[in-house]
């Protein structure tokens, strides 16, 4: 066969991962904070994009993105109820009716002094409106946060005590260096040798200053380990005897609940060990946690689920978690007609318009996808929303993906770091997906999370005389229709940090004796 070059015309379809498509995928799995940061960067780069406020006037020449398509219910106030509320307030001319209803004389209460006060009310109201931040003619809301006292941090609290505890200026310099290595829990995370070398002091001087700092409030601060933290608190309570010191030095045995070995090391009997454990429970393992730390990020739900009037569920996207982005068409037209004269300017304006349109479409598609996935999850987990975690159904990504005609990877991205606010509480969307456990009677399968909840409730309700073993839990679950192996029960119990039946029996009896004493 002779080799020759030929031309063929062929038509095919292929999916190309363009930069915009990759950003759309990333946009789908972003959290609320990441989404806000990304949009802020895009608005800073693109002059045609604007962030719309809650009271922004959406003109006919502007297009928005990220709007949820959900049936949002609007609360209505009954006119009769509003009239009844307004009639409860005192108005001039109503004194006689109020006297008859409440059997009181309001005429005597409205004295000349009170009348003078009412006469001064307009002047006081004018002063109030003139205050910064108050609701006046400008319509700006009065912000009470401006008058809230600031939170005292752990560093500020210790800085107030150091001048009284250390008189020498050199010791205060060492204390400031040690304070810089204090974490939020109040522990010292530093190498004393390194600090001594950096400051040019002897190690004994650093240790002497540290010993003074460990006497400050809160008790246990500047400790280098949990054992030292507990020892400092016990020393300040005058409870650090040799037996208690041995207990604090062997906290790993206490974590393993090896009480027999602890009694030997401490040289005490069972009753004394119970008293010592009760004393340990009164201590604070993180002395600095009660002070203002870093900024806390509040979880904002992406989906809100409420009971509907037709005994169903009303699912909507949370407007607070959906940033509204507008494309300023008027500005684009004005710049295109008057400002953009060169080809480079026209190309830049065209690119900005394409990016802005893409962002609004991507935000709208993101909102629609989240809404579809959340609605299907609510439909699948209707029994959980009505009756609780015992009725949580086993669910996987493929079931939801097949129901809404999407790929499993898309559902996985949607459910990552997204939260749903339900009448049962706030849950991550991943919470509703759990492994299926077979039924002992051949009925419907059970969710692994529901089975773990049953195990937790059974152990919580057991008495010291009737502690359930893993075999007992297996039999109890089997009688309830759950077919589970003993090793699986042990795995679930250990994952929930629940000790074995022998350890629980010992602890419950010890607690019962301590309560009786």
Q: What is the pLDDT of residues 263-309, one digit of tens each?
A: 888 888 888 888 888 888 889 998 888 776 555 567 889 999 999 88
Give the C-alpha separation, 385 to 427, whole Å. Answer: 11
Q: What does the DSSP 8-state code read for residue 49?
A: E
Q: Residue 422 falls within a domain, yes or no?
A: yes
Give the C-alpha separation, 95 to 184, whole Å. Answer: 60
pLDDT band of residue 90 (cuts 50, 70, 90) is: very low
Give the least confident one: 202-206, 330-334, 369-373: 330-334
Q: Both 195 and 261 in a single domain? A: yes
Q: Both 456 and 356 in a single domain? A: no
Taken in order 161, 166, 167, 169, the sign of the CA dihedral is: negative
Q: Both 504 and 408 in a single domain? A: no
Give the pLDDT of residue 290.
Answer: 77
Give the pLDDT of residue 421.
Answer: 92
Q: Residue 35 falls within a domain, yes or no?
A: no
Q: Residue 148 falls within a domain, yes or no?
A: no
The answer to whether 126 and 266 are in contact (CB under 8 A) is no
When divided into structural domains, the chain yields a total of 3
Give the C-alpha separation, 501 to 470, whole Å. Answer: 8
Q: What is the pLDDT of residues 134-188, one digit of tens each?
A: 454 445 555 555 555 667 788 888 989 998 988 888 899 899 999 998 888 889 9
200: its two tokens: 């040019």
Q: Both 374 and 416 in a single domain? A: yes
Q: What does the DSSP 8-state code read for residue 287?
A: G
Q: Both 371 and 428 in a single domain? A: yes
Q: Both 219 and 256 in a single domain? A: yes
Q: Both 426 and 307 in a single domain? A: yes
Q: Residue 97 falls within a domain, yes or no?
A: no
| Residue carrying structure tokens 């809160």 | 218
pLDDT band of residue 59 (cuts 50, 70, 90) is: very low
Last residue of a domain, one of 434, 467, 485: 434
Q: Which range marks the domain in which residue 488 is found?
A: 446-516
Q: Both 342 and 394 in a single domain? A: yes
Give the C-alpha separation, 472 to 52, whole Å. Answer: 60
Query: What does the DSSP assignment read for 300-359?
Result: PPSEEEEE-TTSSEEEEE-GGGS--EEEEHHHHHHIIIII--SHHHHHHHHHHHHHHHHH
Q: Both 263 and 311 in a single domain? A: no
How many Cα atoms occupy the beta-carbon half-sphere of 142 within 13 Å? Answer: 10
Q: Both 427 and 467 in a single domain? A: no
Q: What is the pLDDT of residues 315-346, one digit of tens each?
A: 999 888 888 888 888 887 887 777 666 778 78
Last residue of a domain, one of 403, 434, 465: 434
Q: Residue 439 falls within a domain, yes or no?
A: no
Pair type for strands 419-422 and 303-307 = parallel
Give the chain's end-to-end CA distance (angstroms, integer): 103
Q: Residue 76 falls within a domain, yes or no?
A: no
Q: Residue 249 falls within a domain, yes or no?
A: yes
Q: Both 427 and 450 in a single domain? A: no
What's the average model confidence in pLDDT over 66-81?
38
Question: Is the predicted pLDDT of residue 217 greater than 70, yes or no?
Answer: yes
Q: Both 389 and 427 in a single domain? A: yes
Distance of CA 512 to the CA centre of its chain: 36
Q: Residue 472 falls within a domain, yes or no?
A: yes
| Residue 269, SS3 per DSSP | coil
Give the CATH number for residue 484.
1.10.10
Q: Is 287 exposed, middle or buried (0-12, 13-18, 19+ CB in 10 A)?
A: buried
Query: What does the DSSP assignment read for 71-119?
Result: --------HHHHHHHHHTS--TT-HHHHHHHHT--HHHHS-HHHHHHHH
Give the pLDDT of residue 31.
Answer: 85
Last residue of a domain, one of 434, 464, 498: 434
333: its two tokens: 């037209």
């Amino acid at each position: 066969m002779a080799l020759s070059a030929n031309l063929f015309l062929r038509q095919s379809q292929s999916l190309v991962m363009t930069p915009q498509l990759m950003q759309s995928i990333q946009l789908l799995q972003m959290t609320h904070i990441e989404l806000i940061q990304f949009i802020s960067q895009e608005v800073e780069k693109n002059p045609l994009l604007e962030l719309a406020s809650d009271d922004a006037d959406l003109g006919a020449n502007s297009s928005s993105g990220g709007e949820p398509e959900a049936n949002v219910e609007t609360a209505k106030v009954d006119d009769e109820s509003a009239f009844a509320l307004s009639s409860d307030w005192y108005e001039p001319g109503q004194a006689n009716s109020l006297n008859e209803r409440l059997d009181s004389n309001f005429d005597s209460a409205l004295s000349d002094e009170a009348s003078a006060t009412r006469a001064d009310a307009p002047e006081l109201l004018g002063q109030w409106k003139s205050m910064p931040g108050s609701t006046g003619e400008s319509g700006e809301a009065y912000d009470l946060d401006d008058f809230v006292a600031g939170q005292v941090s752990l560093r500020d609290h210790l800085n107030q005590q150091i001048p009284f505890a250390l008189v020498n200026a050199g010791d205060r310099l060492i204390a400031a260096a040690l304070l810089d290595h204090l974490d939020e829990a109040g522990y010292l995370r530093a190498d004393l040798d390194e600090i001594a070398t950096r400051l040019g002091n002897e190690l004994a001087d650093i240790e002497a200053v540290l010993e003074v700092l460990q006497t400050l409030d809160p008790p246990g601060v500047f400790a280098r380990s949990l054992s030292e933290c507990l020892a400092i608190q016990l020393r300040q309570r005058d409870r650090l005897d040799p037996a208690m010191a041995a207990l604090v030095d062997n906290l790993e045995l206490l974590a393993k609940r090896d009480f027999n070995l602890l009694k030997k090391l401490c040289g005490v009997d069972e009753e004394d060990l119970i008293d010592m454990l009760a004393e340990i429970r009164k201590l604070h393992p993180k002395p600095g946690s009660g002070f203002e730390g870093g900024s806390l990020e509040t979880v904002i739900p992406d989906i809100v689920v409420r009971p509907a009037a037709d005994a169903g569920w009303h699912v909507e996207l949370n407007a607070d978690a959906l940033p509204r982005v507008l494309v300023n068409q008027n500005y684009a037209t004005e710049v295109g007609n008057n400002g953009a004269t060169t080809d480079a300017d026209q190309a830049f304006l065209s690119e900005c318009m394409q990016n802005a349109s893409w962002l609004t479409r991507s935000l709208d598609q993101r909102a629609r996808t989240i809404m579809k996935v959340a609605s299907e999850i609510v439909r699948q987990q209707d029994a959980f929303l009505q009756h609780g975690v015992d009725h949580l159904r086993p669910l996987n990504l493929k079931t939801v993906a097949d129901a809404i005609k999407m790929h499993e990877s898309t559902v996985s991205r949607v459910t990552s770091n997204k939260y749903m606010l339900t009448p049962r509480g706030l849950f991550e969307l991943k919470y509703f997906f759990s492994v299926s456990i077979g039924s002992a009677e051949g009925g419907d399968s059970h969710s692994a999370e529901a089975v773990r909840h049953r195990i937790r409730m059974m152990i919580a309700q057991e008495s010291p005389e009737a502690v359930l073993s893993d075999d007992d839990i297996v039999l109890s679950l089997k009688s309830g229709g759950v077919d589970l192996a003993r090793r699986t029960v042990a795995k679930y119990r250990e994952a929930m940090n629940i000790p074995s039946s022998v350890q629980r029996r010992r602890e419950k009896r010890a607690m019962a004796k301590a309560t009786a004493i």
